[in-house]
Amino acid sequence: MERLPKIGLPIILLVIALIVVVAKSAVVIDSGHAGVLYRSLGDGVVTDKPALGEGFNLVAPWNKVIEFEVRQQSKSYRMDVLSVNGLEIKVDATVWFEPDPSSLGKLLQEKGIDYVERILTPAMSAAAREVVGRYTPEQLYSSKRDVIQKEILDETSKGVEGQYININRILVKDVTLPPTIKEAIERKLKQEQESLEYEFRLSKAEKEAQRQRIEAEGKAAANRILSASLTDKILTEKGIQATLELSKSPNSKVIVVGGGESGGLPIILGNN
């Protein structure tokens, strides 16, 4: 019984030491993150093994774990660049990216934990300068927005190629021109729109005039054909037929037949 306290104390100390070691060795990786192991007493950053996944992980207490967010992230930029004619343009763009999860060790070792500022930001700025420098302010303001967006994506992807970063998408949200240039472009676009509207009205009026000419020519042709077919005998026959129809009416009337060689057309009088 006297030996129990002497035996119990080392056991208690051993349990405490074990708890401390486990606490120091336990690493919990957050959702959407991965951990790169750094061996303090070994070769440093581990690049030949997969990164530690989400959840509970055990590592030696003298080693460290550096976490990276591996889900898709976004970063917005407002860049001052020059157009093809040397005018200063402001471009607002957002890039969606993610680190290559299979190369986190190399990313940490070669680029560092702040790889976004070291690699992505310079690549994005260089791509914007390269692409915007190909176009005039008029093209940047109007019809080339989608083309510019795709070209910046292509150039940025080239800039980070082999740098363990995946570029998923780039959105050009706004292109801001100097106020005087913007006003000049807007006036030009308005004048072009008014010119197109005037041309449309002229075209519409010309088509309406052409329609009326065709309609008038058709009526004139019909009248010529009708006049050519209406002889005196035909007119007399039509008049007689009409007279016969009217004579069948119960109302009292006087029918006067014209004289002359052709006899003329009948005249109806006293139709009460």
Under the banding of pLDDT at 50, 70 and 90, the label for residue 137 is: confident
Per-residue burial over 117-134, b = 16 or more CB atoms within 10 Å of its CB, e = otherwise: eebbbebbbebbbbbbee
Token pair for 171: 């959105």
Would you state the pLDDT for residue 1?
45
Token pair for 153: 């994506």
Compute the distance between CA of residue 25 and CA of residue 62 in angstroms, rounded to an integer: 8
Q: Which CATH number fits domain 73-177: 3.30.479.30, 3.40.50.300, 3.20.20.10, 3.40.30.10?
A: 3.30.479.30
Under the banding of pLDDT at 50, 70 and 90, the label for residue 246 is: low
Q: What is the pLDDT of residues 211-242, one digit of tens each?
A: 888 888 888 877 777 676 666 666 676 667 76
Tell me: pLDDT of 108 over 80: yes
Q: Where are the domains of the chain?
A: 4-69, 73-177, 180-229, 232-269
Would you state the pLDDT for residue 16?
66
Would you state the pLDDT for residue 203?
83
Would you state the pLDDT for residue 135?
87
Candidate from 88-102, 139-153, 225-239 with smallest mean pLDDT = 225-239
Under the banding of pLDDT at 50, 70 and 90, the label for residue 191 is: low
- CA 101 vs CA 4, 13, 49, 165, 265: distances in Å: 54, 41, 11, 9, 107
Three-class DSSP category at 60: coil
Handedness of CA 113, 118, 119, 120 (dihedral sign): positive
Q: What is the mean pLDDT of residues 12-24?
A: 62
Please give the mean pLDDT across all residues of the chain.
80
Q: What is the pLDDT of residues 34-84, one digit of tens each?
A: 999 998 888 889 988 888 988 888 888 888 999 999 999 999 999 998 888
The answer to whether 107 and 69 have CB atoms below 8 angstroms apart is no
The pTM for the full model equals 0.61
Would you state the pLDDT for residue 153?
94
